[in-house]
Chains A and B, each alone.
Chain A
Amino acid sequence: MTGLPLNVDWQQILLHLFNFTILFGALYVLLYKPVKDFMDGREAHYAEMDSAAEKALADAESSKETYESKLKSFDAEIKAERSKAGEEIDEEKKRRLEAAKTEADKIISDAKAEAEAEKGKIIASAQKDITKLISEAMEKLAIGESDKDVFDKFLDAAEGEDK
């Protein structure tokens, strides 16, 4: 087209435009987009890492808080356990004491019964001996020994029995 200043040519302008459009498309597809995608991907990757680290940190913080609260409640728990154990011990102690007392009572009553039985046995034996001695003494009196001899024999017999 003639007549335009500086020899401006619309056809050449359109050819420049065509050239630039092709360049725009090619650079966008081949260079700009892949590089930008890579950069965005890397940014997302680091953001993900960052969020994961933040999450891990938050988890650690919450775990720390949980353990701290557990530690705090642990003292109370120990105290409760201790008092419970004390109560159990007291109960056991009481139970054992009662058992011991019962056993002691039983032993005493058994011993008493045994002693009574022994005493009865001894008394019976002593009565038997006395009866025997008296019968012997009566026999001797009937045979004719003096009172003094009989009495001496009775004492000797009694002494011998003591020994």
Chain B
Amino acid sequence: MTKADRKKAIIVFAVLAGVFLLGSILTGGHGEKHETVQEMMQDAVMHELNKVSLFGIKDVNPGLIAAFVVSGILILFALICRLFVIPRFKLVPGKFQMLLETAVGLFDGMAKSNSHHLNKFLGAYIFTAGTYIFTGTIFELFGIQAITTNGHPISLPAPLADINGAIMMGCLSYLVIMSGGVAVNGIKGVGKALKDFSLPISMSFRMFGALLSGALVTELVYYYSALSYGLPIIVGVLFTLLHALIQAYVLTMLTSMFYGENAEKSEKKPKKKKAKDKTVIAEADQAASA
């Protein structure tokens, strides 16, 4: 590209941006907003106003619909990979093969390094959880629309920005941790896991809080059209990417660490012979005093 071409491209880009900005300012007052920012933010937390019908069976939070959509996308992706990509795997991997192998290897390695026992299941679980959290969080960037029961369009949020999704993930991770303990140590494993009874709550609400705050900030920014230029690149894309990575890493890391801790074989402590020891000490004292 020559200098002149580059200049032309910059001018066209600036003109287009200016036109869009002007258009948004001119049309700003006429856009229909069916809820105030307060209502919108309250609804993002409470899910009272905007419900989506689940095939006419039940009105559910948009997060659940988002969860089904994300799962559908992931399963389709996995199916395509299984049918067309994995059979063509080579000993020396290409770029896409490398990507898949890195993802699998990352979670498998994390499971192996944190738990010496039963890490095969743990690897599969944290792979799914990590992929789900990451993809689900990225998913909110696409702004896929759904129609609420009130007839208003709503962009689907991250599945785990829904409190029910976050509770499910936190509690399931806790059950997985507990299962590791039970599988290795039997009933003692339950006791070990019960020591960390606050874990499901902390895991659930950490995830819910992190994803919800991201969603709220993004919603807030998009609510005002004047803030919709430039700023979403940082608060929308970069923040979402960051917390997608961070949350996926945090939950999988915590799960694998606690799982490894619980799945550790407990060593039998030798019984202390207190009475015998006491007599030995007393005899030694007597001998010393004599």
Contact = CB atoms under 8 A, between A and B. Distances in A.
Contacts of A151: none
B94 to A, nearest CB: 13
Interface string B204-227: 000000000000000000000000
Given A30-B79, A31-B78, A38 B58 contact: no
A22 interface: yes
Contacts of B61: 9, 12
A17 B124 CA distance: 16
A31 B45 contact: no
A69 interface: no
B64 A32 contact: no
Interface of A: 6-9, 11-13, 15-17, 19-20, 22-24, 26-28, 30-36, 38-39, 42, 45
22 contacts: A6-B163, A9-B60, A12-B64, A12-B162, A13-B167, A13-B171, A16-B169, A19-B64, A20-B67, A20-B169, A26-B74, A26-B79, A27-B127, A28-B128, A30-B81, A31-B86, A32-B104, A32-B127, A35-B86, A35-B89, A35-B104, A39-B104
B250 to A, nearest CB: 18
Contacts, number: 108
Please tell me the size bucket of the interface on B.
Answer: 35 or more
B71 interface: yes
CB-based closest 10 A-B pairs: A30-B78, A16-B168, A12-B164, A31-B78, A30-B82, A23-B71, A35-B104, A24-B128, A26-B75, A13-B164
A7 B48 contact: yes
Contact of B60 (A15, A31, A33, A35): A15
Nearest to B175: A17
A22 B78 contact: no
Contacts of B60: 9, 12, 15
A68 B67 CA distance: 72
A22 B74 CA distance: 11
A158 B163 CA distance: 165
A56 B30 CA distance: 81
B172 interface: yes
B108 interface: yes
B12 interface: no
A8 B164 contact: yes
A1 B66 CA distance: 21
Contact of A24 (B54, B124, B167): B124
Contact of A32 (B124, B132, B163): B124
